[in-house]
Each structure stands twice: as structure tokens, then as C-alpha cells.
């Protein structure tokens, strides 16, 4: 699929996480070589270790959070957001570029009803599984192999959303 | 040194480290932090089924799958080499609440009494693992992101839609944990 195909897509974009489909997003000029993906594996390994060592992948910690029985999760998520806000402000103000010298582009999201309905549905799933998508991968890594079933089910949920999305309110 | 690394990370260290994933991925290659999209890419690679939502050049997004793969490896390292021998320090209130439903083993991060192969065949296990997983996949894609994509990346970039999504994640979580989960655990 080339660039023109992407611009001719009929569907309305409601998912701003797929950068190459976001028409407001400047397409990557340079195709990354396969070995450059190693850096994303390394970033993933570090992120996975942090997720496990901070216990945010614990089903129990999720229950504590929603029962207001512990500050831990609020502290983690709150300080992560604060760090992210400060980092993005620094990147913007100093005009920091990527290691390949590209200008950093931040996707702008548009509001649609899916953020409400989908958000509530994900909230239900988050409590049941005790995991969001990142922690699902980390839980499997720690040896809880039965969580592969949860992952397959989450892939199925994503697929069914893709199948019925035209009929859902957005 | 290893003893220090085996200790659980307090929130004020873990949170900023997680937040740093935002600039790290941007500087590495203009990538927006977020993981639920990996599920969409897996659909696009293996089961696109001519559904327009999955017909895109997933190769341009494959960094996300490498990132997710790295998390599995990181989970393995943290669960073996860096494993903390002490159980998670949980709130005594939660322990007394859960003991009423027969959950008494707090050793592992994923409760073995609720999440195991045998439990998959029970109604309770099916709801927790199969329905729960389905809702995570369906809900995050409908919302266009998860905790990392919306709550951390979106809010870091001061995106209003991400604030709406995050409030809804939390609202859905509060309702489920306090009013629905107790009934599921009784099953």
C-alpha cells in the first residue's frame, strides 16, 4: 500500500495510535532498517522489567487501586504522566530531534464517543484481568502462561471491534 | 547490587521511569508510546479477513510488535533473575476482603487461584480471563488507546480526548471492582 492509498481510505480515522494511517501525521521519510528495531526490543525489555518490579502488573494492585486501598498505582501513573508532560515540554521548547535528525511529531487526537464507550468497556476488562495490554505481555513473560488465553481473547476483541466498527457510534 | 535490583520499585521511581518511555520512544524514532495498537497489528498480520480496519501497511508499525516482544523478555528477566522472594505487600483490607472469596494465596502477581488452566473451564475463570481479555481488546481499540497510549502518552501531550478516555477507564474500573467483581468472585 502506498501513500495515496492511505489518503484514499474511506473510513474515518478514530484510532490515532497507528501513525502511518494518521493523515495529520507527517509520514516517516526514512524506512528504518531491521536492525534498528533492536532498540525497540531493548526499550521493551526495560519497560517490562519496570512493569514487573513496580508490581503494576499485579492483579491485586489493580484491585487495591479501584477499592481506594492503596496509593501505589496512583503514585505510579501520576508521576509517569508528570514526567511525560515535562519531557514533551522540553522536547517542544528545545526543538529536540530524533536520533536520525527528524523533527519530532506528536499526533493530535480528536474526540469521538468511542473514547467514552470503549473507555468504560476497557475499565471493566482491566479489573477482571488485572492487566492492560502492556502488562498482559509482561505477565506472560513472568511465566503466567495461562495469560496467553487472555492475550488471544484481547486479539479477538480487537478483531471483533474491527468487524463491527462501522455499526458502532463514534 | 543484585539484592537492590530484586527489591520492588517504589512508585516514585517506577512512575518517572515509565514516564520516560514517552521521550525515549519519540527520540528513538518518532514513536508514540502505546501498546494496545500491537493487538491491531497482530490482527493486520494474521487475520485481516478483508476488514478495512486491518488493511494497512503493518510493516510500518512493526516497531510496536518488537516493543511488545521486548516486554515479554523483560517480564521473564524480572520474573526469574530479579524475582523478589518476599510476597507483594498488600493492603490488609484487600486481603481480608478477598479471603471471603477463597483467595488466600498472595505469592504471585497473577493470582494462581483465579488464573490457571483448570479455572478456564469454570464460569468464574472464563469471565476473568476470556471475557476480561475480550473487553480489554475491544474497549482499548474502540477508545483508540489504553493506559499507556491514552493515560500516559495522551495526557503527557495534553490531549483532551485522552483525558476523557482516562476518566472513563477509571469510572469503568471503579464500577466493576466495587459493584460487579464481588458477584463474579462468588461464582
Q: How many residues does chain B have?
A: 187
- Are B32 and A17 a contacting pair at CB < 8 A? yes
- Are A45 and B60 a contacting pair at CB < 8 A? no
User: Is the model more confident about A21 or about A161?
Assistant: A161
Contact A80, B16 (CB under 8 A): yes
Record the pTM: 0.93
Locate B18 and state its grid cell.
515509565
Interface confidence, given as ipTM, is 0.96
pLDDT at A11 over 80: no
Residue B126 CA to residue A149 CA, distance in Å, equals 10
Chain A CA closest to residue B151:
A81
**pLDDT for residue B110:** 95
Distance to chain A for B1, nearest Cα, Å: 15
Residue A150 CA to residue A122 CA, distance in Å, equals 13
Using 50, 70 and 90 to split pLDDT, how confident is the model at A3?
very low
Residue B118 CA to residue B121 CA, distance in Å, equals 6
pLDDT at A8 over 60: no
Query: What are the CA-CA distances from residue B74 to residues A43, A47, A85 (Å)?
Result: 9, 7, 25
Question: Is the minimum CB–CB distance between B131 and chain A shorter than 8 Å?
Answer: yes
- Are A50 and B14 a contacting pair at CB < 8 A? yes
**pLDDT single digits (tens) A95-144:** 999 998 999 999 899 999 999 999 999 999 999 999 999 999 999 999 99
**pLDDT single digits (tens) A54-111:** 999 999 999 999 999 999 999 999 999 999 999 999 999 999 999 989 999 998 999 9
Three-class secondary structure assignment of chain B:
CHHHHHCCCCHHHHHHHHHCHHHHHHHHHCCCCCCCHHHHHHHHHHCCCCCHHHCCCHHHHCHHHHHHHHHHHHHHHHHCCCCCCCCCCCCHHHHHHHHCCCCCCCCCCCCCCCCCCCHHHCHHHHHHHHHHHHHHHHHHHHHCCCHHHHHHHHHHCCCHHHHHHHHHHHHHHHHHHHHHHHHHHHC
Question: Is the minimum CB–CB distance between B127 and chain A shorter than 8 Å?
Answer: yes
Kindly state the DSSP code that residue A21 receives in the 8-state scheme.
Answer: G
**pLDDT for residue B49:** 95
**Rounded to the nearest 5 degrees, what angle is found at the Cα of B9, between the Cα atoms of B92 and A89?**
120
Q: Which residues of chain B have pLDDT under 70?
A: none
Contact A44, A135 (CB under 8 A): no
Contact A141, B46 (CB under 8 A): no
**pLDDT for residue A5:** 47
Distance to chain B for A113, nearest Cα, Å: 8
Distance to chain B for A11, nearest Cα, Å: 8
**pLDDT single digits (tens) B133-147:** 999 999 999 999 999
Q: Which of A115, A138, A144, A166 to mutate to test the interface with B (most CBs of B within 10 A)?
A: A115
- Are A140 and B111 a contacting pair at CB < 8 A? no
**pLDDT for residue B76:** 97
Amino acid at each position: 500500500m502506498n501513500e495515496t492509498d492511505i489518503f484514499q481510505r474511506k473510513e474515518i480515522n478514530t484510532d490515532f495510535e497507528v501513525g502511518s494511517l494518521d493523515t495529520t501525521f507527517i509520514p516517516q521519510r526514512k524506512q528504518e532498517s531491521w536492525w534498528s528495531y533492536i532498540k525497540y526490543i531493548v526499550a521493551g525489555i526495560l519497560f517490562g522489567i519496570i512493569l514487573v518490579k513496580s508490581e503494576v502488573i499485579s492483579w491485586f494492585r489493580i484491585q487495591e487501586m479501584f477499592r481506594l486501598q492503596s496509593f501505589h498505582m496512583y503514585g505510579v501513573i501520576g508521576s509517569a504522566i508528570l514526567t511525560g508532560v515535562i519531557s514533551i515540554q522540553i522536547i517542544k521548547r528545545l526543538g529536540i530531534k530524533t536520533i536520525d535528525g527528524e523533527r519530532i511529531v506528536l499526533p493530535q487526537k480528536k474526540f469521538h464517543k468511542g473514547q467514552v464507550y470503549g473507555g468504560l468497556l476497557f475499565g471493566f476488562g482491566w479489573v477482571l484481568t488485572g492487566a492492560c495490554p502492556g502488562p498482559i505481555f509482561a505477565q506472560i513473560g513472568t511465566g503466567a502462561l495461562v495469560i496467553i488465553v487472555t492475550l488471544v481473547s484481547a486479539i479477538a476483541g480487537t478483531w471483533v471491534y474491527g468487524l463491527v466498527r462501522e455499526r458502532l457510534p463514534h | 547490587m543484585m539484592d537492590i535490583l530484586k527489591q520492588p520499585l517504589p512508585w516514585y521511581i517506577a512512575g518517572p521511569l515509565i514516564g520516560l518511555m514517552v521521550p525515549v520512544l519519540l527520540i528513538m524514532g518518532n514513536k508514540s508510546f502505546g501498546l494496545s495498537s500491537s493487538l491491531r497489528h497482530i490482527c493486520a498480520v494474521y487475520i485481516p479477513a478483508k476488514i478495512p480496519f486491518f488493511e494497512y501497511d503493518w510493516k510500518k508499525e512493526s516497531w510496536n510488535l518488537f516493543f511488545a516482544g521486548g516486554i515479554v523478555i523483560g517480564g521473564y528477566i524480572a520474573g526469574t533473575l530479579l524475582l523478589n522472594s518476599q510476597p507483594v505487600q498488600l493492603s490488609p483490607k484487600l486481603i481480608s476482603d478477598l479471603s471471603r472469596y477463597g483467595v488466600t494465596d498472595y505469592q504471585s502477581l497473577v493470582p494462581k487461584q483465579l488464573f490457571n488452566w483448570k479455572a478456564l473451564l469454570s464460569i468464574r475463570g472464563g469471565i476473568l480471563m476470556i471475557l476480561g481479555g475480550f473487553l480489554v481488546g475491544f474497549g482499548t481499540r474502540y477508545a483508540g488507546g489504553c493506559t499507556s497510549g491514552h493515560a500516559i502518552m495522551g495526557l503527557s501531550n495534553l490531549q483532551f480526548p485522552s483525558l476523557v478516555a482516562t476518566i472513563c477507564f477509571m469510572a469503568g474500573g471503579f464500577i466493576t471492582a466495587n459493584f460487579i467483581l464481588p458477584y463474579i468472585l462468588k461464582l
